[in-house]
């Protein structure tokens, strides 16, 4: 009885947590300017948000650039079972924030510091829905602090940074104990670290710009506590509040981009971004205080490496005003037999628009909007098979200041 009820449940809790952390919840909307042009910015990005997108981009001479912003993420997902009944997630707004500052120490050497959240998810399914034994609420957060240094050598710029990572997770789901329904609230946290390095070259000055950026994987060793409620007395010796741990390796990320100016007032850019999801082969769980020895488990995941594709444009309407737009195709790394309601994922198409105003004082305001369409995807998972689809609206705003004669986009 204990092995049949407890081990599969405990495995499901942590799998739901880590799947949502790793499966299609990588975020690239960490400044409104790149958001508005579909983040096709690796080859040319030239403000302090380059700390995230390509650290080489901060090497722009004795220029001070600072900005702070947030992206309001409003996801909506639906699940349709084999009988045709549909359930939609509750409305939530998730507002990951970002902040950057960079400055030139000399004409060639620049330093900077960035804060952003490149992986995360907040999702809530309605009370009483048929998948409540899988998931009711989940919240994943990551916080990256990224000090950076960059150097300019003629038309070539090189930058590198160190990433210090804090990650937290919380998950809630309901449990079936015969005719009684209980629940579990699981939370965990960890620290991790990694690095990033990038380069840009002005292949044809003021015309053609090329860039490459690599961000390393981060090993996250989560320690958490499973807090159970309403457990029947006969199972109390097997199902009780206790620690649990697991580990996760985030993907290596490699981006390559090119940007071209057919005329001085128009920039056209394209990026290819590769995610090394294939390192996620299985999820291994350890319950260090499990006296029965039945809870620790391993489950294969079989994820695949994927690349997504970005095209974007930025046009100068006047010295103060700019407009942007773009498109992204973002395939999912997850096979259909691991698709579950904690991370309803699918191939995605993104449409982006944006704009900005820069005052002569150097103060600027940027807006960027993305509509994300998740194409219909069938789940063949043993637990809760059916179809998933959805949309997400993302609205980013950035307020910044730039001094030292360094106009963006030149």
Has residue 140 got a pLDDT over 70?
yes
**pLDDT confidence band for 409 (50 / 70 / 90):** low
Burial class (CB in 10 A: 0-12, 13-18, 19+), 338: buried
The rounded distance, in Å, linking the Cα atoms of 83 and 15 is 26
**Residue 151 CA to its chain's centroid (Å):** 28
Higher pLDDT, 342 or 9: 342
Q: What's the CA dihedral at 298, 301, 304, 306 to 10 degrees? A: -110
**Residue 300 CA to its chain's centroid (Å):** 23
**pLDDT confidence band for 129 (50 / 70 / 90):** confident
pLDDT tens digits for range 65-118:
999 999 999 888 888 888 888 888 877 788 899 999 999 999 999 999 999 999
The rounded distance, in Å, linking the Cα atoms of 186 and 175 is 13
The rounded distance, in Å, linking the Cα atoms of 159 and 29 is 21
CATH number for 2-403: choose from 2.40.160.60, 3.40.30.10, 3.30.1490.100, 3.40.228.10. Answer: 2.40.160.60
pLDDT tens digits for range 294-345:
666 676 677 889 999 999 999 999 999 999 999 999 998 888 887 777 767 7
pLDDT tens digits for range 188-225:
899 999 999 999 999 999 999 999 999 999 999 989 98
pLDDT tens digits for range 145-182:
999 999 999 999 999 999 999 998 888 888 888 888 98
pLDDT tens digits for range 229-266:
898 888 888 878 889 888 888 899 999 999 999 999 99
Domain locations along the chain: 2-403
Give the DSSP H/E element, type plus range, for residue 34.
Answer: helix 32-36
The rounded distance, in Å, linking the Cα atoms of 49 and 237 is 52
**Residue 407 CA to its chain's centroid (Å):** 29
Burial class (CB in 10 A: 0-12, 13-18, 19+), 206: exposed
- In sequence order, what are the beta bridge partners of 157? 152, 200
Q: Copy the structure tokens of residue 374.
A: 């998740």
The rounded distance, in Å, linking the Cα atoms of 238 and 235 is 5
The rounded distance, in Å, linking the Cα atoms of 94 and 10 is 27
Q: At which residue do the structure tokens 């952003």 appear?
A: 116
Q: Is the dihedral of CA 332, 28, 92, 171 positive or negative?
A: positive
**pLDDT confidence band for 9 (50 / 70 / 90):** very low
Q: Which residues does 10 contact at the CB level (< 8 Å), separation at least 6?
A: 226, 244, 285, 287, 295, 297
The string of DSSP codes covering 320-347 is SEEEEEEEEEE---S-GGG--TTS----
Give the DSSP H/E element, type plus range, for residue 14.
Answer: helix 2-22
Mean pLDDT for all residues in the chain: 87
The rounded distance, in Å, linking the Cα atoms of 81 and 348 is 21
């Amino acid at each position: 009885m204990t092995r049949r009820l407890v081990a599969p449940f405990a495995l499901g809790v942590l799998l739901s947590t880590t799947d949502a952390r790793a499966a299609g919840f990588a975020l690239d909307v960490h400044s409104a300017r790149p958001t508005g042009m579909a983040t096709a910015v690796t080859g040319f990005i030239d403000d302090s948000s380059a700390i995230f997108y390509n650290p080489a981009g901060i090497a722009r001479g004795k220029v001070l650039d600072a900005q702070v912003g947030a992206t309001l993420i409003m996801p909506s997902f639906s699940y349709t079972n084999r009988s045709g009944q549909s359930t939609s997630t509750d409305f939530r707004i998730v507002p990951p924030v970002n902040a950057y500052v960079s400055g030139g120490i000399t004409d060639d050497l620049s330093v900077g510091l960035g804060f952003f959240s490149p992986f995360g998810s907040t999702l809530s399914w309605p009370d009483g829905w048929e998948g409540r034994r899988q998931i009711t609420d989940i919240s994943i957060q990551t916080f990256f602090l990224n000090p950076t240094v960059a150097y300019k050598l003629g038309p070539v710029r090189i930058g590198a940074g160190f990433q210090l990572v804090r990650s937290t997770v919380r998950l809630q789901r309901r449990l079936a104990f015969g005719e009684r329904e209980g629940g579990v609230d699981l939370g965990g946290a960890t620290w991790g670290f990694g690095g990033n390095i990038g380069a840009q070259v002005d292949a044809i000055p003021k015309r053609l710009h090329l860039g490459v950026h690599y961000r390393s994987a981060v090993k996250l060793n989560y320690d958490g506590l499973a807090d159970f409620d309403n457990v029947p007395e006969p199972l109390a010796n097997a199902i009780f509040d206790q620690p649990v741990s697991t580990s996760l390796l985030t993907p290596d990320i490699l981006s390559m981009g090119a940007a071209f100016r057919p005329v001085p007032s128009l920039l056209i850019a394209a990026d290819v971004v590769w995610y090394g999801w294939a390192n996620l082969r299985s999820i291994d769980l350890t319950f260090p205080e499990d006296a029965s020895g039945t809870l620790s488990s391993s489950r294969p995941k079989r994820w695949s490496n994927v690349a997504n594709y970005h095209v974007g444009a930025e046009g100068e309407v006047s010295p103060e005003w700019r407009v942007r737009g773009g498109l992204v195709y973002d395939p999912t790394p997850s096979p259909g037999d691991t698709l579950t309601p904690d991370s309803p994922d699918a191939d995605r198409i993104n449409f982006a628009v944006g704009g900005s105003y820069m005052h002569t004082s150097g103060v600027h305001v940027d807006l960027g909007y993305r509509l994300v369409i998740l194409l219909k995807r069938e789940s063949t998972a043993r637990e809760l098979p059916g179809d998933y689809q959805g949309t997400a609206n993302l609205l980013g705003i950035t307020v910044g200041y730039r001094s030292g004669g360094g106009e963006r986009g030149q």
